[in-house]
Amino acid sequence: MNGKIIILLILTIIFSKSPQSATLSAKYGYDEWLVSRFLKYVPDVDSFLSKMEIAPTQYIRANTLKTHVANLVKRLQLKGFELKTTVIPEVFAVTKAPFAAGATTEYLLGHYYIQDLSSCIAVEALDIAPGQVVLDVAAAPGGKTTFIAQRMNNSGIVIALEPNARRARSILFNLARCGVYNTSVFKTDAVRTGLFEMKFDRVLLDAPCSCEGVIAKDPTRKTSHTPEDVDYCCRIQEEMIESAVKVVKPGGILVYSTCSFAPEENEMVIDRLVQNYHNITVEPMNYGSSGLVRFGDMVFGDPLNNTRRFYPHLHDTTGFFIAKLKVN
């Protein structure tokens, strides 16, 4: 069956309220429908909601196109910054900042990029090698694009897509700041990938989403977020991933990510894709918690175990979902 037809039948699943959802929504100021859902797919919801009350840990990624990791660390330490290593060698948690990390000369000169660890792990999952041809869909503001270019050492080709003019401009700023010259930006959207008449070794689809994972950065979403947001986003995501998968070379990798916890935007999108395309396998990843294999009355295929969820209270990142898909 066609994926588009299926998605029109899927609506955000709402669960009945409970004494626990009432207590937690009152304690942390969320709409109760959202807490009722979190209780179904987030481990230890009280700790999770408590963690969402504080500003997320800030991470920086050293830009090795412009500096050496050790040099950057030394320079920032001399300015009073304290940094902690992470699972990604170029990425550091900022544990102490005497002033804003975005206001240093090193930042302006492109020696580093302020970027969440989870976002860097999505790029890591691409297993990029120099010389490859890579497509970055919905690329603004260019954090992942510049990291991809960095891992390719400015070789090969990165095509970055962004339909919105203002957001496309933000990519240009970051490409220029980071000294990237293997990238071309196109003002177009994911569903027009076929126009390129080319196939890609790697495709990154960091899909527009309902942003449940970044409520800590924007607390207004505790009450402004609606089930319709999730409905709307998963329709777009379905279209985007359908287009993206068609331009991956045989043997290539597609990484799908969102900053949402909603299974409708994550596991359900991947489950349908894997059901529709038998040449796609969900590859294991080293970091994060396993994706859901059931949600409400739904049971997903075992491969969904290989998708990854990142929770603020467990992984000290913003909320994130990553699926690494190999197209055989």
Partner 1 sequence: MIYSKPNRNERTKINRALDRWGTFEFFKDKVLVLQKDDTKKKIVVCLVNEKIEELLLMAGMISPYSLGLAIGELRKEFIPSIAGADLFARYGKRNKFYIVVSEKGEKLVLYGRDIMGESIVEASDALAENELVILLNTSHEAIAIGRTRFSGNSLLQKGRVTVTTLADAGYYLREEG
Residue numbers annotated as active site: 259
Distances (CA, A) of 6 to 244, 269, 275, 294, 307: 18, 10, 12, 18, 21
Distances (CA, A) of 325 to 76, 100, 285: 37, 37, 10
Asked if 55 is part of the footprint of partner 1 (rule: CB under 8 A), the reply reads no
Rank residues 18 and 153 by Cβ distance to partner 1 and give the closer one.
153
Among positions 35, 69, 159, 304, the unique one binding partner 1 when judged by CB under 8 A? 159
Part in contact with partner 1 (CB under 8 A); list of ranges 9-17, 189-197, 219-227, 292-300: 189-197
Question: What are the tokens at 102?
Answer: 């975005």
Question: What are the tokens at 238?
Answer: 């379905």
CB of 145 to partner 1, least distance (A): 11
* Nearest to 207, CA basis, from 258, 255, 156, 281: 258
Rank residues 188 and 276 by Cβ distance to partner 1 and give the closer one.
188
Rank residues 64 and 170 by Cβ distance to partner 1 and give the closer one.
170
Among positions 156, 208, 288, 303, the unique one binding partner 1 when judged by CB under 8 A? 156
Asked if 70 is part of the footprint of partner 1 (rule: CB under 8 A), the reply reads no
CB of 188 to partner 1, least distance (A): 6
* Nearest to 148, CA basis, from 138, 159, 163, 162: 159
CB of 205 to partner 1, least distance (A): 18
Rank residues 110 and 291 by Cβ distance to partner 1 and give the closer one.
110
What stretches of the chain show up as alpha helix (H) in DSSP?
A: 3-9, 19-28, 32-41, 45-51, 69-78, 105-108, 117-124, 143-151, 165-177, 221-224, 227-246, 267-276, 312-315
Binding mask 78-107 for partner 1 (x = CB under 8 A): ------------------------xx-x-x
Which residues lie closer than 8 Å to 313 by C-beta, 6 or more apart? Answer: 44, 47, 48, 50, 51
Given a contact cutoff of 8 angstroms between Cβ atoms, the answer to whether 295 and 72 are in contact is no
Rank residues 107 and 321 by Cβ distance to partner 1 and give the closer one.
107
Given a contact cutoff of 8 angstroms between Cβ atoms, the answer to whether 266 and 237 are in contact is no
Among positions 69, 88, 128, 133, the unique one binding partner 1 when judged by CB under 8 A? 133
Question: What are the tokens at 136?
Answer: 């970055």
Which residues lie closer than 8 Å to 41 by C-beta, 6 or more apart? Answer: 261, 263, 292, 295
Rank residues 138 and 171 by Cβ distance to partner 1 and give the closer one.
171
Rank residues 196 and 232 by Cβ distance to partner 1 and give the closer one.
196
CB of 157 to partner 1, least distance (A): 5
Asked if 202 is part of the footprint of partner 1 (rule: CB under 8 A), the reply reads no
Among positions 80, 89, 98, 131, the unique one binding partner 1 when judged by CB under 8 A? 131
Report residue 159 CA to chain centroid gap.
Answer: 18
Report residue 221 CA to chain centroid gap.
Answer: 18
What stretches of 247-283 show up as alpha helix (H) in DSSP?
A: 267-276
Given a contact cutoff of 8 angstroms between Cβ atoms, the answer to whether 326 and 309 are in contact is no
In angstroms, what is the C-alpha Rg of the chain? 20
CB of 76 to partner 1, least distance (A): 13
Part in contact with partner 1 (CB under 8 A); list of ranges 163-171, 226-234, 236-244, 318-326: 163-171
Asked if 181 is part of the footprint of partner 1 (rule: CB under 8 A), the reply reads yes
CB of 244 to partner 1, least distance (A): 16
The footprint of partner 1 (CB under 8 A) covers 66, 102-103, 105, 107-110, 131, 133, 141, 154-157, 159, 168, 170-173, 175-177, 179-188, 192, 195-198
